[in-house]
Structure 1
Amino acid sequence: MISITVCVGSTCYLKGSYNIINQLIKMVEDNNLENEVVVKGACCLGNCGKPVSIKVNDGSVLSVNESNIKTFFEEEILKKLRT
Structure 2
Amino acid sequence: MRISICFGSACHIRGAYGVLNAFKTLLEKNDIKGTVDIEGGFCQGRCTEGVVIKINDEIVTNVAKEKVEEIFKQKVMVLTSCK
TM-score by length of 1: 0.91
Cα separation, 2, equivalents of 1:26 and 1:37: 13
Partner of 1:42: 41
Question: 1:51: how far off?
Answer: 3.0
Question: 1:82: how far off?
Answer: 1.6
Partner of 1:51: 50
Partner of 1:19: 18
Task: Give the unaligned 5+ runs of structure 1.
Answer: none
Cα separation, 1, equivalents of 2:74 and 2:50: 18
Higher helix share: 2
What amino acid does structure 1 have at the position aligned with 2:60? L
Question: 1:68: how far off?
Answer: 1.2
Task: Give the unaligned 5+ runs of structure 2.
Answer: none
May I ask how many residue pairs the two structures share in their alignment? Answer: 81
The 4+ residue runs of structure 1 with deviation greater than 6 A are none
Higher strand share: 1
Instruction: Provide the secondary structure at the position in 2 that maps to 1:67.
Output: helix
TM-score by length of 2: 0.91
Question: 1:67: how far off?
Answer: 2.2
Identity of aligned residues (%): 27
